Amino acid sequence: MNYMIKTGKDVGQAMEEQLDMNQIVGSHHILMLCLDCLRYDAAVLEQEQGGTPNLNRYGNWRRCQAPGNFTYASHQAIFAGFFPVDEDVREMSHREKLFFSSDIGMGRKAPKEAFHFQGPNLVEGLERVGYETYCIGGVSFFDNRSAVGKVLPSYFMHCDWNPSFGPKVKDSATYQVDVALERLEECRVQQKRVMMYMNISALHYPNYFYIEGETKDNLACHRAALRYVDKELGRLFKGFQSLGDTFVICFSDHGTCYGEDGVWFHGVNHPNVLTVPYKHFVL
């Protein structure tokens, strides 16, 4: 079924239809929003308890399988078009495909509803059809300070990172959104079509400082970090709305553990690491 642009109360209904990304690419700005490290259970609890009103406006979280168990692995898959997969999908051919490269896999035939990109990743593919591409970095894989930290940012035409964007800074999302809004204003003046990727680092460890008096990361602090991030996303969404119609892909690249089964953090194949929230919607 072709995707029809809908707003307000119709957004959730529209997203249950098969998206036709060929109607999105070229007509919409695109925001890829990674809430790095966000656990599915934390996202749903805040959704149900009203802790994330800005995200709640755009439908419920989908329970998905992460493409990797840490940031670098997941993003190499995601930038190749392999986003988190709905948990009940059992065959590769049944996964929803937003972007597709004919250079790899699945018969090398682009599904009708997917945008068929040219080049080594979807970021460069969007650049080739007229998008100005921006990366607002967060965790160290986007910091441009090491050889590894330069790989993912190199996919973009523009990349912003400074230490205030990192997970050790309590107000990191505030600083990230401030710079994102500056870039959007520049694009408004220059009348550019924007593709922006943001790696929100606040959910990552350390996050104990989001609850006063805590000295060790835990699920409650993780959820408090998400509530903080949601407040900042309100400003970001308004910025994109003022720029024009925007398609948002919002996801976690992996989850994390806080002592469950003796496991701490991520980089291992634990259910709390591999089960992630995902949604997409139109601003």
Domain residue limits, the chain: 20-282
Question: Which is it for strands 62-65 and 85-86: parallel, antiparallel or unpaired?
Answer: antiparallel
pLDDT at 108: 61
- At 166, the amino acid letter reads G
Which residue matches tokens 């107000």? Answer: 171
3-state SS class at 64: strand
Find the helix packing angle between 40-48 and 219-243, rounded to 10°.
Answer: 70
Contact indicator for 197, 156 with CB cutoff of 8 Å: yes
> What CATH number belongs to 20-282?
3.40.720.10
Q: How far from each other are the two terminal CA atoms of the chain, in whole angstroms?
A: 21
pLDDT digit string, tens, across residues 116-158? 999 999 999 999 999 999 999 999 999 999 999 999 999 999 9
Residues 234, 54 contacting (CB under 8 angstroms): yes
Distance between CA atoms of 55 and 231, rounded to whole angstroms? 9
| Phi–psi pair at 220, nearest 5 degrees | -65, -40
State the pLDDT at residue 17: 58
Q: Report pLDDT for 192.
A: 92
> Distance between CA atoms of 274 and 86, rounded to whole angstroms?
12
Structure tokens at 131: 């998008």
Pairing state between β 246-251 and 29-35: parallel
Sequence-distant (6+) residues with CB within 8 A of 120 are none
What is the DSSP code (8-state) at residue 165?
Answer: G
pLDDT of residue 4: 36
Q: Which helix (H) or strand (E) holds 15?
A: helix 11-15
Q: What is the pLDDT of residue 57?
A: 97
pLDDT of residue 89: 82
What pLDDT score does 94 carry?
Answer: 73
State whether residue 215 is helix, strand or coil. Answer: coil
Cα–Cα distance between 55 and 44 in angstroms, integer?
11
Name the stretches of the chain with pLDDT < 50: 1-16
Compute the distance between CA of residue 59 and CA of residue 15 in angstroms, rounded to an integer: 9
| 139 vs 35: CA distance, rounded Å | 11
The amino acid present at 189, given as its one-letter code, is V
